[in-house]
Amino acid sequence: MSRQAWTDEDVRASIIPQKEFPTCSYRRGTRLGRGGYANVYKVLNVKTGGLFAGKVSPEHVSHLRKEARNLTRLNHSQIVKFIDYCEDKTNPAANVLVMELCAGGSLQDKIHDNPGGLTRKDNLQVMLQVGQAVEYLHGKGYFHGDLKPRNILIRSWSPIDVVVGDCAEVMKIDHINCHKQPHGTRSYCDDIWALGISLLGMMAQWPHYLMKEERVYPRKCATHARNLDKLNPGHDLVQVLLRLLEWDHNRRITASELVKLTAERLEAHPNFVEELKSPEGFQPLQFW
């Protein structure tokens, strides 16, 4: 499926009756993805010919409106761009949040396609750009609340250009209790911790996850990071990982520090073999 063009498949999809899609200047094409509360489709602006991503959520209208409001308040190069929001006045369940179309899919797709892990440079570049987005959010007093590879979207991979998406959970930091987070992915305690969990996946180092281990999984990830450090002394990616997954949140790296650290690492020349040594018998989680 091509994300960069309006194809015959999109034309066929657009002529199917769509009760949950509003009457507006956009035409709905093929589905690009599915999330916890919404579906995302390729959409065509029939007036301009522009292609975008359209998120629809007939059963969670208030949630979609909230995401649209959040995006209108945010303006950063590494946060997905808001384009438009439409809903039928007589039928709010017919709605669409229109955003820029990220042709490269999600970081989760990239992890899935690279079971041996991404390269050192790619990992650092992604961490730098997402760190810049988080630095911007935290600087304005906001918290993302649901950072994970599925919500990091790829504009391009060569050169790397990624953006933070799914901003429905963005809220003021003083409204967050990270030990009792009401929404989002429960494995993540905060944005910085979430980046550490994401980096584990990018390095093909996610420990196995069982539902009954939900409460202990964060500790399992932190322990695995320390074990990697013992096996790979001086490995700069592991050093970044350790600071992201620091158990004591008062000592955990800040977004600004992460941006500085990853930029420095990108300029440096590594003095180690890129392949990581993992604990004996370790088998990474492939689908999460």
Q: Is 140 annotated as a binding residue?
A: no
Q: For 154-160, which contacts have Cβ atoms below 8 Å and span 24 or more sequence positions?
A: 154/102, 154/103, 154/104, 154/105, 154/106, 154/107, 154/109, 154/110, 155/100, 155/102, 155/103, 155/104, 156/103, 156/104, 157/104, 157/110, 157/122, 160/122, 160/125, 160/126, 160/129
Locate tokens 């963005």: which residue?
170
Question: In this structure, are residues 146 and 185 in contact, taking their beta carbons and an 8 Å threshold?
Answer: yes
Cα dihedral across residues 43, 47, 49, 51: positive or negative: negative
Annotated binding site for ATP: 55
Residues making up the binding site:
55
